[in-house]
Amino acid sequence: MESYEIVYDRAISDIEEIIKNELIELPEEQKINFNEVQTVESNLDAWDYCFALAIGLAGVTITSSKMFSKYLNDIHKAASGQKGDFSFFQEFLGDILKHKGDFIDKADKTFKNRFGKNAYGLFHRLLWGHDILAMGKDNPFALMIKQKGWFGIIQAFRHLLADTMSKQGLPAPGSSFLDYIFTDETGKAHESNYLIKIAQSLSEEAFGNKANAQEVYAHLATIRFQDISGGVVVRVLSEAYIRARKIEDKLRCVEIKFIAYAVSFFGEAVVGMIRQKGIPYINIPVATAMTKEFLQFCVIDAAETHKLYKTTDEIIKTDDDIIGKYEKLNQMVPKYISAEDCFESLNQTESNIDNLILFLGECE
């Protein structure tokens, strides 16, 4: 029969082995580096903000340059067959974009509106032939196909592109849906467009007359090549900066572009308010690009947030498992409130072992 000490040591050894096995099954404690959390790749740094601001201001410089506007307008004049002191490049583009005599500009050799009446000359593009979404007979592609056959489709593109370089610009798609009929003081009915009414009202409020209505309209609801150029500059410079910094995080890239477009859009609006006594310039191409980047930001951010929620749920589940294992381990370890309880338990253990040894002896 084994001695009391041997049995006791074996029991203690078995308990230690059980506890050791339980501890081995517990995963290692996960340590969180809060500095790394605060410097995740999606966060913009100071250089990102500085360059996004500078790129946006570069776009403002392009879109609000009067010299560049005049240069583009001369290209349109050359394409319209007008005479002037044009550079070689302006004449070259004028030949490519030549559109004199196109049905897009005139109906029955005069400026007409969609109702067949004499058009308001300053707004003849708005009232006839230049809305690509027009559903009536003045759709530019339908007009040019009628005039020049299927080659008219190409000519329509050339004509519309040339008109974006003009001082007024090309009417925004869908402008024809804002046509309306009004009655003058004599009771005679007239046809017009709400955009003209808005431009005239803004001109009267800012300048006291309607003389600046065309300029207000040109920067309010038209597509201008100058505005497009500003958006292209912002896009190219943003991409160049992202490549130079080797930025791969999609959310960070979108944030940089969005800030650059926003600076360009609102910066141009401020320039317009200064020049037009409170009436802002509205850059439709840049506004479209800015909206696109914002929506893309929302989509990517939502995907990242969903991924974060999923990871958080997994961490919570892991924590619950760890807590469960610790609770299981705690149940295996006796708990003593006082020293008396501890000595009492020890005496009871010795008594149990003595009884066990006695029982084993009787069995022999």
Is 151 a member of any domain?
A: yes
Percent of the chain with pLDDT over 70: 77
Tell me if 321 is assigned to some domain: no
The answer as to whether 316 is a domain residue is no
**Does 4 have pLDDT greater than 60?**
no
Residue 14 lies in a domain: no
Contacts for 35 with CB less than 8 Å, ≥ 6 apart? none
Count of structural domains, the chain? 1
**267 contacts 57 by C-beta, under 8 angstroms:** yes
The answer as to whether 127 is a domain residue is: yes
Tell me if 308 is assigned to some domain: no
Per-residue model confidence as pLDDT tens digits over 273-285: 999 999 999 999 9
Q: Which residue has the tokens 């760890």?
A: 322
pTM of the model: 0.76
Q: Is the pLDDT of residue 33 over 60?
A: no
| Angular region, 136: left φ>0, alpha ψ -120 to 50, beta rest | beta
Q: Which phi and psi (to 5°) does residue 116 adopt?
A: 85, 5
pLDDT digits over 246-268, tens only?
999 999 999 999 999 999 999 99
Label residues 182-196 b or e (16+ Cβ within 10 Å = b).
eeeeeeeeebbbebb
- Strand ranges in the chain using DSSP code E only, listed in sequence order: 170-171, 179-183, 189-193, 222-223
Assigned domain for 323 exists: no
Is 72 domain-assigned? yes
Range of the domain at 112: 46-301
φ, ψ dihedrals at 318, nearest 5°: -65, -40
According to the model, what pLDDT value does residue 316 have?
A: 85
Report the percent of the chain where pLDDT is more than 90.
Answer: 46
> pLDDT tens digits, residue range 289-311?
999 999 999 999 888 888 888 88
Cα–Cα–Cα angle for 215, 216, 222, rounded to 5 degrees = 85
